Structure 1
């Protein structure tokens, strides 16, 4: 097998591992059992998801070792495409047409954006650059996390948390790349301090992504993480690794169009889940099996005779008669008269 074919195979298997892990994470969040929303350590499925995410990360690093970044990163964007049918087949969570359109648009836009990025000569981050990258990422994640804490809707909260997770995963990828370049060029000496940074960002991304799945379904959080992760890594590459877009000005315009397509896909996913949330809120509090009634008309309870609006105290089985317990009946407004119902015979 050629190195390029091996790289493609590893990238595809990595995307499948990420997809299955995401489905398991969403299942743990949807179960609503007791435990932390960030670290549900008592759930075996969560540990399986964490293991699959680790396997996916190792396979992704292997794919980058055998193939170019411009090929491997777009293939990683297929995670969301794999996750939807996996969730539909194995856990019976079917995505609607809007979710499919949004997921495909986000994937196509991301693939186009990454395919236009031209990788420069590999280089490692210097000590000062590492501090700048880590500090900037931590600040962006803090802003997104604070926005999620104050968000009113579940979908917005989920997207903000997923965005913070994507930033964390993307920065972890940047440090992994820097670490690999440092080891290959000058050996491990002087680069061991990067390992805790990689571990911290990877673990933080896993915890934030787990919280993002709570009450918001699978597609919107996963698509947000899938898009944000490589975009952040590419942004660092463009600013610090001297990477650029292919085809000059034309490539920049195409990259902007691809980013617009990816953003539209995320907006469709968010709008679809917001519509679902609104439907759930409108039906909250209704009796099971009792259809919604028109305004001013009391709901009819199954097994009870119909009751006409405005006629209190009707006795079951005695239609048309007024219960003496109903008391005096007041005449229309402006009248001082009251009518006392006669005693029942």
Structure 2
């Protein structure tokens, strides 16, 4: 089952990488949902993203969050290759992608060595994880609107990663406790899923508007497994017996992956701010003083 889950997660990561490149290419300037819905390229990307999410969800049914979630980091080198298919990626971009993959791979290796404990009940999981994710996502969104374009791209993508990490951990929690949780708690969990997915989608599109797809994918696929693994460790009993050394190793792996995201954001050829389309007040003839 674990091998099948990993194959599904790899297929999902491939879908996410292709979706990122397609949707980024369809966004020019500000995000206008009605305009995007009329663009086949964006719709194709949305379809691939939905397919990737379905494959990812199925993988989570078959294996723990800490095993499945980090596989999504494979989308980073795929997005770099697809986004720069006509040119050779700069060495620092390759190094950034490699750091992302290495850091998340170390997270997988460390988390896989843990001994599962009894998970928290679904009601407690929903309350604690939902509150923490909402606070972190809101803080990142506020940071995004108050900073430069390069940092805005990473901050919006990180907010999306928090939301999707919550979705993944919540799906796993519902699967583990479907037969024991009360109906009201299951209903609350079901209602939280579309809300978190909507927050993830909005944040990701804002990230595409501010920077290249490889940077958005890197921030997503690094932040997402770190959030999901942290929730799995703290509330789903997936990190029993790690001890202080194991926790330190997880934090170090997260720092390596974050350094990779920073390298991509700084040195990706398409990381320059995108021009904002002119407004009617901006359009004037040469020599005319706009009013």
* Deviates further, 188-197 or 100-109: 188-197
Contact kept in structure 1, 2:122 and 2:174, CA below 8 Å: no
Measure the CA separation in 2 of the matches of 1:196 and 1:8. Answer: 28
Equivalent residue number for residue 214 of structure 1: 209
Matched, 1:109 2:107: no
Alpha-carbon offset, residue 239 of structure 1: 2.0
Could you tell me which runs of 5 or more consecutive residues in structure 1 were left unpaired when the two chains were aligned: 282-345
Q: 2:20 aligned to 13, 19, 22, which one?
A: 22
- RCO higher in structure (CA 8 A, sep ≥6): 2
Equivalent residue number for residue 299 of structure 1: none
Equivalent residue number for residue 44 of structure 1: 40
Higher helix share: 2
Deviations 1:217-259 (A, max 9, x none): 1222211111111111111122222332766444334323322
Could you tell me which runs of 5 or more consecutive residues in structure 2 were left unpaired when the two chains were aligned: 276-291
Equivalent residue number for residue 271 of structure 1: 266
Alpha-carbon offset, residue 52 of structure 1: 1.5
Q: 1:157 aligned to 135, 143, 152, which one?
A: 152
Deviations 1:244-296 (A, max 9, x none): 27664443343233222112212211221499639x99xxxxxxxxxxxxxxx
Matched, 1:79 2:75: yes
Measure the CA separation in 2 of the matches of 1:50 and 1:276. Answer: 23
TM-score calculated relative to the size of structure 2: 0.82
Structure of greater Rg: 1
SS at 1:186 equivalent: coil
CA gap 1:247/1:123 in 2 versus in 1, 3 angstroms: closer
CA gap 1:194/1:253 in 2 versus in 1, 3 angstroms: closer
Measure the CA separation in 1 of the matches of 2:262 and 2:34. Answer: 25
Q: 1:182 aligned to 177, 180, 187, which one?
A: 177
Q: In angstroms, what is the RMSD of aligned CA positions?
A: 2.9
Deviations 1:15-69 (A, max 9, x none): 111111111121122xx27751798333222222222222112211222333454
Contact kept in structure 1, 2:232 and 2:238, CA below 8 Å: yes
TM-score calculated relative to the size of structure 1: 0.70
Corresponding pairs, count? 272
Contact kept in structure 2, 1:141 and 1:164, CA below 8 Å: yes
CA gap 1:235/1:69 in 2 versus in 1, 3 angstroms: closer
